[in-house]
A and B are shown apart, each in its own frame.
Chain A
Amino acid sequence: MDFQVVVLAGGVSKKLLPLVSKELPKALLPVANRPVLSYVVELLELSNLKDLIVVVEGEDAALNVGAWISGAYADRLHVEVAAVPEDVGTAGAIRAIARHLYAKDILVVSGDLVSDVPIGAVAATHRRHDAVVTALLCNAPISGPLESVSSGGKDKTKKPGRYDLIGLDPTKQFLLHIATGAEVEKDLRIQKSILRAVGQIEIRADLMDAHLYAFKRSVLLEVLEQKGAFNSLKHDVLPYLVRSQLKSEVLLNGIPQAEENGSEKVISQSNQQMLSQILANASEPTFHLRHTLNTNGSDSVRRTHKCCVYIAGSSKYCARLNSIQAYNDINRDVIGEASHLSGYSFSAHNNIIHPTAELGAKTTVGPHCMLGEGSQMGDKCSVKRSVIGRHCRIGANVKVVNSVVMNHVTIGDCCSIQGSVICSNVQLQERAILKDCQVGAGFVVTAGSECKGEVLAKKWN
């Protein structure tokens, strides 16, 4: 279908410290014991997109990601990994691989997307409208832990997350305005020209830009080349394209068809005109067309381009792993309500316990839990709504609630872990009590310590 896929896998995200490190870049962060990148890759594979370019920030991260992909997807997918320097931004990443792009349209996917939205639908919308860019919008996820679990400490994160403010036309097909949550201060500036052309803009705050875009390659590359200062697709390129949609500065390769006319002597110019007119008259004119035609008096033809959206249905799951809170939420959802995403089959108790995992006497593993292979649990433990990775050793009388425990974690007796993320190779000595903490890789929590809402990590040298 003449689409190329670029997965922007990011590097070591600062937002996700201390969970990520050079050894464990963001893309490989385990979600339900699978790297988060695998969700995107498998979503793409499901759509029959087997030719991917994965862009990773930083050489080391790229090595790690590449090694994982080659291990996991050899013979299934044709994946190429490109390493770009850190802090070039998403736009810089595309610039860096620009010469490898040749297809008519480029699908840019963020590597931290966990979703089941059919990607084909976005591409089809893009093609149908012959758009310059099509963005996937989805319902903003509910942040914070479930209501049923009372957790006192996390109230500050429970406030409604500020997501994007998105302006749509009445048919909900075109993107008229986009501002990310951070940019919006008190007032919202909307272009008068667009409002005048469309007549009505619907501003939505309940939608989230899922960072999955279909771009027309020629336009994307042209914009990136002309605007050297553009750093981010989401913050610079997309708003620019949306802003300029009625006074397009990009060269649309669709409009001039003169090269065909040259060879075909039969077609006179008027015929071509009539042809395009018949086609244009065939449908309800969009505001773009009306705007183009409204050139009363002035000679210059107004050029427009279309920025479309595909709004995922409310039944679809869509979330981005871009904060620690999101990491907790996604882990909870993937083994909970969006369990079809995990790719595992759940037991009758609605949980997944690897057959090699060992459970002590009177240990209970509740629903929406996951226990990786080779993990051992002592007696009288209780696990609720948590993910426990591979080869963990958990002592007796340990409580794990609403938490993520990665691989090779040792937890002493009588520990209690709530709402926390424990990274790999962490050692928790006896009677440690953690609540809403993030523990970086290799950290040792001393016996009897009690932490609440803290970030525990080794000092970076």
Chain B
Amino acid sequence: MDARRAPRAVIDPKVRKVGFFAPPDPIPLNISPSVNSLSPVMIPPPRHSSENLNINTRYSVTSPSGEESIAISSSSSELFPPPISPAPSSRIVAGDGGGIAASSFPRGGFDVTAVKASIGVPVCKLTTVSVVNADSLAIDEREKADKGGGSAMEVKDQAMNSKQKKEKSSKAERRDLQEAQRAAKAAVKAEGNKPSGSVTSVNLKSAKAAKPPQKVDNTSIAASEKKGGDRPSEKDRKKDVPHPRLQYDDKSRVEKAKRRAVVNQTEARNRVELFRHLPQYEHGSQLPDLEAKFFQIDPVHPSVYKVGLQYLSGDISGGNARCIAMLQAFQDAIKDYAVPPEKTLVRDLTAKISSYVSFLIECRPLSISMGNAIRFLKSRITKLPPTLSESESKTSLQSDIEHFINEKIILANKVIVNHAVTKIRDGDVLLTYGSSSAVEMILLHAHELGKQFRVVVVDSRPRLQGKVLLRRLVEKGLSCTYTHVNAVSYIMHEVTRVFLGASSVLSNGTVYSGVGTACVAMVAHVYHVPVIVCCEAYKFHERVQLDSICSNELGDPDVISKVPGREDVNLLDAWANTENLQLLNLMYDATPSDYVSMIVTDYGMIPPTSVPVVVREYSREQVWM
């Protein structure tokens, strides 16, 4: 064990493991040596032995060296994209733009059915008077194709010598190039040669992941490491290691990220010193700016764009809803996706999803549950057997997403409701904080079952989510009490159970949830009221967090200085820009596991100490499913 861990300790000096140690995965031992020797570069990810692996499959997916690039270039020479004609070609009449204006339209028959005859408006014809020149476009495309083919050939040439010229190819091509090169280098075992260092022009996130200092590790690395200090290849590590979070007090990196950003992000002034590492922007300017760019942002799919807008404007909030909205947008995007020529679906779609994700992050930082869902989707994409056709892979991905939503979110919620309802007895007084979809369903279900209980909804400014929950509960006929969090110690006397939702549960049992949850849980603990946290297992994360400072989300600081509906309370309006006042609007906090009596999840009711088990078992099932 120690011998195995030693090399990684050198690579990743910042790894720390707290409390619970997952036993090393036994799976690498199952892998037959023949599979291992196939591609010395890649350590195959742990798989269940039941999954029969096609050797060819693995090869072409994992080793992006010579063969594949040749295939690409040869196909490119044959498959020139046909000349692109703008818009539906049937309507274009005038030849090359400068044509005579109203040349008559060849199609004679009017489609009278579209218009009522009684209106008396003849269906008119369209006359194309101005066309974007089709020929020049097609030529451009062809040139690009040539160039693309050329660069693919170069990949082969350059695989051996580790020099790279700056190519004027597209970003995706550059990325392909880089990855191929990186894998090739690892194959030659150029020791001590940091592959990412040689590439300067790449501005993809993946490049950053390769930089060692800020690495956070996870257990699966330990599992996939081999004996004898054999370092896992750069690419493999990159895949396993979660991206280091961008520390927003790191000036140079923030600058770099800003240049990529689609959303105009002005840094908020007067930030609290302790939270400088978290992103905080002027909230007012983001939405109008993004809206104005509606038609300019080309690569973002409309559905994804819509979801991003809704995140940014706060139209969608709540972990489950955000996750579902994101997945559905991805579903739409995959449905409309077509593999560009000379690209493979696996790579290009992954890149595409990544670009969507970074767009969404710019709109609002991802929640942990969304991160898990994205990880799931990406692993599904990479696991696609290359024998599938494009449409088959697309349908399979769409149904995968569908399954994820149904099983991990909807069914999980149902199971949680069924479990948690057993904890509600007649005469109970249940306290909940904020608005959690799972808790709401539990309460409603218990009410439907005819249990007699009372609900205390505790709320807090500035979001006042509890009000929305309260309205729905009262509409359904539950008897409720509504109070704010400052009265929680008073109301806790009469409470018999506390039900809380969670944004995430971390592997040390810490519950990461909306700000204020910790306070409620602690007060309940003092009054010896059991605290039951309801959280779907897909929100569990292997991360360990001891405080709510190192990772959190900062909301719009302006909303806490304003009182909704009371314009006359404007004492802080002018103060917001003074030097010695800093407003802090934290979105989340971490509740230590000591204050949590039980976590209800789709795997049953577990104590917080059992979270790592679920994380381990579940994440394997999720990712390697």
Contacts and interface: CB of A to CB of B under 8 A. Distances in A.
Interface stretch (B284-292, B484-492, B592-600): B284-292
A281 B102 contact: no
B294 A264 contact: no
Interface string B287-310: 010111111101000100110011
B305 A127 contact: yes
B1 interface: no
A281 B291 contact: no
Interface in B434-476: 435, 437, 440-441, 468, 471-472, 475
B130 A88 contact: no
A96 B291 CA distance: 31
Contacts of B471: 285
B440 A63 contact: no
Given A70-B97, A99-B111, A282-B316, A124 B290 contact: yes
A123 B130 contact: no
Contact of A79 (B119, B129, B298, B322): B129
Contacts, number: 202
A156 interface: no
A47 B321 CA distance: 31
B324 A79 contact: no
A92 interface: yes
Interface stretch (B120-128, B339-347, B384-392): B120-128
Interface residues of B, number: 72
B128 to A, nearest CB: 5
A225 B116 contact: yes
Contacts of A63: 101-102
A206 interface: no
Nearest to B435: A281
Contact of A281 (B111, B128, B321, B322): B321
A459 B475 CA distance: 71
A334 B339 CA distance: 46
B410 A95 contact: no
B130 A73 contact: yes
Contact of B324 (A75, A78, A84, A278): A278
Given A78-B130, A78-B131, A284-B468, A1 B121 contact: no
A97 B313 CA distance: 35
Contact of A267 (B291, B294, B402, B409): B402
B403 interface: yes
B97 A74 contact: yes
B296 A120 contact: yes
Interface string A83-111: 11100100010011111100000000000
A70 B402 CA distance: 48
A241 B468 CA distance: 28
B590 interface: no
Interface stretch (B86-94, B267-275, B543-551, B553-561): B86-94
Contact of B114 (A67, A81, A99, A293): A99
A453 interface: no
Interface stretch (A48-56, A143-151, A375-383): A48-56
Contacts of A271: 406, 410-411
B109 to A, nearest CB: 11
Contacts of A67: 101-102, 129
Contacts of A77: 130, 132
Contacts of A285: 468, 471
A96 B399 CA distance: 41
Contact of A228 (B119, B322, B441): B119
B413 interface: yes
B325 interface: yes
A275 B403 contact: no
A1 B130 contact: no
A81 B325 contact: no
A275 B324 contact: yes
B601 interface: no
B24 interface: no
A82 B127 contact: yes
Nearest to B296: A48
B40 interface: no
A278 B295 contact: no
Contacts of A3: 295
B572 interface: no
Interface string A274-289: 1100110111110000
A128 interface: yes
B403 A80 contact: no
Contacts of A70: 94, 97-101, 129-130
Nearest to B317: A282
Given A70-B99, A120-B292, A264-B402, A85 B121 contact: yes
Nearest to B110: A99
| Max count, chain A CB within 10 A of own CB: residue among B111, B131, B318, B405 | B131
Closest 8 CB pairs of A and B: A120-B294, A282-B321, A118-B292, A74-B97, A124-B291, A66-B101, A121-B291, A80-B126
Interface of A: 1-3, 47-51, 53, 55, 62-63, 66-67, 69-70, 73-85, 88, 92, 95-100, 118-121, 123-125, 127-129, 225, 228, 264, 266-267, 271, 274-275, 278-279, 281-285, 293, 313
29 contacts: A1-B294, A1-B305, A47-B296, A49-B295, A69-B101, A70-B94, A73-B130, A77-B132, A78-B132, A80-B91, A81-B129, A82-B124, A83-B102, A97-B124, A120-B294, A121-B288, A121-B294, A123-B294, A127-B302, A275-B410, A278-B318, A279-B324, A281-B318, A281-B321, A281-B435, A282-B315, A282-B322, A282-B325, A283-B321
Given A67-B101, A124-B294, A282-B320, 18 more contacts: A47-B295, A53-B126, A62-B127, A63-B102, A70-B98, A74-B97, A75-B130, A78-B87, A78-B130, A81-B127, A95-B121, A100-B126, A124-B292, A266-B406, A267-B406, A271-B410, A271-B411, A282-B325
